[in-house]
Amino acid sequence: MDDTTVSNQKSWDELVKLKVPCSRPNQNPTIEQARENLNPDNILGDLKNKNVLCLASGGGQQSIEFALLGANVTVVDFSKEQLKKDETEAEKHSFKIRIIQSDMRDLSELKDGEFDVVYQPYSINYIPEVQTVFNEISRVLKTGGIYHLMFHNPFVHGSWKDSCWGNQWKKEDLWNSKGYPVSQPYRDGEPIRIQDQTWNFEDTKGNKIKAKAPQEFKHTLSTIINSLIKRKFNILKFEEYTGSDFEADPGTWAHYITVAPPWLSLWAKKMA
């Protein structure tokens, strides 16, 4: 792994130990909740006995819900602490899940055409280039298989002070009375620069935590889409994460997401 990825790995291990929200497994999810979270439009079809790769997806969330839906689950993540969550939750629910600690760009332990589904939640923005990841996904995914990808909206990446789930920033740091400033270069692989290099959040006991933020990188929409087209993926569905509270106070997260969708998701089918 490159130096930035090694640093991000250490950051994630520490964040998990500090109980960052995205490392907290869902408590006793039901089959209905799992379907709603992972397959709301049945775009993945019946998952029973399907081989599913949860890529860069440690934390005991997606892996457990896919297992609940009857899938044969493999989870790959570079964070040992994240993967401990999957191990603990799998044991708790009596699921057999294959767990592999590896960088998302190195799937050498996995076979060609092994998976029906590759599911990647928000993680690709922690590496500077996507081509190696997409090459590996194309290799391990069966023809006709589905790839789900969540990534940061590149047009606004860096316009919100990425302090994660806290409210410990000043309103004027985010909102300049007219809008949310967009100033970082629109260039693939561009490192996202923020003033406060920490994530501010509350742990499970309500304690306010500050921890080193992992480094993120911008990936342009054309890079994401054209790279998948090049590898013979057909886009089936595209979604934007948006808010609905249009009366929210400017400078708040609730208002920001009505102006600038922070995350985008797509589902793509690998063609012959």
- Predicted pLDDT at 110: 98
- Predicted pLDDT at 173: 58
- Predicted pLDDT at 194: 76
- Predicted pLDDT at 196: 67
Provide the domain limits for residue 120.
Answer: 3-270
Q: What integer best gives the mean pLDDT of the chain?
A: 92
Percent of the chain with pLDDT over 70: 94
H/E element, 72: strand 72-77
Range list of H helices, the chain: 3-17, 31-38, 62-68, 80-93, 131-140, 221-230, 253-259
Residue 36: how many CA atoms within 13 Å on its side-chain side? 5
Q: How confident is the model at residue 156 (pLDDT cuts 50, 70, 90)?
A: very high
CATH number for the domain that contains residue 254: 3.40.50.150
| pLDDT tens figures, 16-47 | 999 998 899 998 999 999 999 999 999 999 99
| pLDDT tens figures, 172-213 | 557 888 888 888 999 999 999 876 678 888 888 888 888 888
Question: Is residue 137 pLDDT above 80, yes or no?
Answer: yes
Cβ neighbours around 250 below 10 Å, total: 16
Query: Crossing angle, helix 131-140 and helix 221-230, to 10 degrees?
Result: 30
pLDDT, average across residues 137-156: 98
Termini Cα distance of the chain: 32
Question: How many domains does the chain fold into?
Answer: 1
Which pTM was predicted? 0.94
Residue 17: closest CA among 79, 77, 88, 63:
79
> Which two structure tokens, joined as six digits, stand for 171?
């309103």
- Predicted pLDDT at 120: 98
Partners of residue 198 on adjacent β-strands: 212
